[in-house]
């Protein structure tokens, strides 16, 4: 049955795991590619063991984190260290257009699934690797996750306050945004080129090089001889610029004033407090020099406001502002996301109705969709082996008993 989606007919042998890799293959699956996720039953994708779990009970098919990263995919389990398991993987690769992995350099070669081996049996394959720091260089063998990539790529060095230690960003942004999306662009470009030329290619995406794009302005400043430092919520141009307390517990509103018109509008919304009439606050340069004092004065005014009401009043007056949301606020209380029906609910066979991120862009003709919840571990092993790879049931049963597949 046709899906009518733009990547229908593309098959991906997906060896990725943890964060960045699965989030690369997810949009391919949501746009029609047949993404077959290959795992070891004895060493599953680590995020199957990461919270949150449905009803708080851990289990390989109960992780919301895993589910959110793996919609629309199929799942098979193989023992890639067993000769028969490796042969099944190669049979699958022969029938695939893309091979993707984010293991440390050398892992796929040790498994006998490196690019040269794969190209020998499927010359036009598109083969993507996503090592942390690349396949060459003094740090090529370094292992890491989002936190360490963020540290190496400069994100942590810029996060926090100048007089305090660097702090994490609360989540691993390299895994969620730059690395998977750069990789997706590379895969789509390679597919396009193969359609034009008939040639496949090898893609190496060093996650470190992808991540450094996230601090682009600091890199530019460094190239100009400056030394960007941690600056909390400050902005070199805007003042006031930060988050200000509102009524209620731990409730805040983010406000940024970039020019005099926005300053006058802010003052008007705050009912023209007497200190705002002081002449030395009329100019942007003066406001920047007095930003700490200004923060305290504004905070004294915003405490009386509801955060949503203040943000609405300010944005209506032309001042950039937004209430500071937490996860519950984004999911359950943001009227904009609700109005756009961003959140998607899918009925997972173990977790039941579960919420997923929707696709964050709308295409007028070929928009993707979350076609299915994340697969149970090995849910498609039999179907892939027998219907796609042509294995007979007797052979499958024997290999399943040996733990090679299943």
Distance in angstroms (rounded) separating the CA atoms of residues 242 and 232: 8
Contact, 386 vs 395, CB < 8 A?
no
How many Å is the maximal CA-CA distance in the chain? 87
DSSP β-bridge partners for residue 289: none
Hey, what long-range contacts does 236-245 have (CB within 8 A, 24 or more apart)?
237/284, 237/288, 239/284, 239/287, 239/288, 239/290, 239/291, 239/294, 240/266, 240/287, 240/291, 240/294, 240/295, 240/298, 241/291, 242/295, 243/324, 244/295, 244/298, 244/299, 244/302, 245/299, 245/302, 245/303
Q: Phi-psi region for residue 56, left (φ > 0), alpha (ψ -120 to 50) or beta? A: left
Three-state SS for 96-148 is: CCEEEECCCCCHHHHCCCCHHHHHHHCCCCEEEECCCCCCCCCCCCCCCCHHH
CA distances, 13 to each of 89, 97, 136, 237 (Å): 8, 8, 24, 48
Please state the φ and ψ torsions of residue 404, each to the nearest 5 degrees: -75, -35
Instruction: Using only the alpha carbons of the chain, give its radius of gyration.
Output: 25
Contact, 47 vs 20, CB < 8 A?
no
DSSP assignments along 270-331, one per residue: TT--GGGG-GGGSSHHHHHHTHHHHHHHHHHHHTTS-HHHHHHHHHHTT--EEE---HHHHH
Distance in angstroms (rounded) separating the CA atoms of residues 406 and 85: 11
Contact, 291 vs 240, CB < 8 A?
yes
Contact, 129 vs 102, CB < 8 A?
yes
Catalytic center residues: 175
Distance in angstroms (rounded) separating the CA atoms of residues 372 and 356: 11
């Amino acid at each position: 049955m046709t899906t009518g989606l733009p990547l229908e007919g593309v098959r991906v042998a997906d060896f990725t795991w943890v964060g960045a890799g699965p989030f690369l293959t997810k949009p391919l699956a949501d746009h029609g590619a047949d993404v077959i996720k290959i795992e070891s039953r004895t060493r599953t994708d680590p995020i199957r063991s990461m919270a949150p779990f449905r009803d708080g009970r851990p289990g390989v098919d109960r992780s919301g984190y895993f589910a959110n990263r793996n919609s629309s995919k199929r799942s098979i389990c193989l023992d890639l260290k067993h000769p028969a398991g490796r042969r099944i993987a190669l049979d699958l690769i022969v029938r695939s257009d893309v091979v993707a992995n984010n293991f440390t350099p050398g892992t796929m070669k040790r498994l006998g699934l490196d690019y040269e081996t794969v190209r020998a049996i499927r010359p036009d394959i598109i083969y993507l690797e996503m090592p942390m720091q690349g396949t060459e260089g003094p740090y090529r063998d370094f292992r890491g996750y989002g936190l360490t990539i963020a540290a190496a790529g400069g994100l942590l060095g810029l996060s926090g306050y100048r007089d305090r230690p660097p702090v994490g960003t609360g989540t691993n942004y390299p895994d969620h945004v730059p690395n998977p999306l750069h990789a997706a662009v590379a895969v789509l470009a390679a597919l396009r080129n193969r359609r034009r030329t008939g040639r496949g290619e090898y893609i190496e995406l060093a996650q470190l090089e992808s991540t450094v794009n996230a601090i682009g302005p600091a890199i530019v400043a460094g190239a100009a001889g400056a030394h960007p430092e941690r600056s909390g919520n400050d902005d070199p141009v805007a003042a006031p610029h930060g988050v200000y307390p509102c009524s209620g517990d731990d409730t805040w509103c983010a406000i940024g004033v970039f020019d005099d018109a926005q300053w006058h509008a802010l003052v008007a919304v705050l009912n023209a407090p007497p200190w705002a009439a002081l002449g030395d606050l009329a100019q942007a340069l003066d406001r920047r020099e007095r930003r700490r004092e200004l923060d305290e004065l504004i905070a004294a005014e915003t405490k009386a406001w509801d955060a949503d009401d203040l943000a609405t009043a300010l944005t209506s007056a032309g001042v950039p502002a937004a209430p500071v949301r937490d996860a519950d606020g984004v999911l359950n209380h943001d009227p904009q996301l609700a109005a756009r029906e961003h959140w998607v609910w899918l009925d997972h066979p173990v977790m039941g109705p579960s919420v997923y991120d929707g696709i964050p862009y709308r295409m007028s003709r070929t928009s993707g969709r979350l076609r299915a919840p994340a697969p149970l571990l090995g849910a498609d092993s039999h179907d892939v082996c027998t219907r796609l790879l042509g294995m007979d049931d007797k052979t499958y049963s024997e290999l399943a008993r040996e733990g090679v597949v299943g």
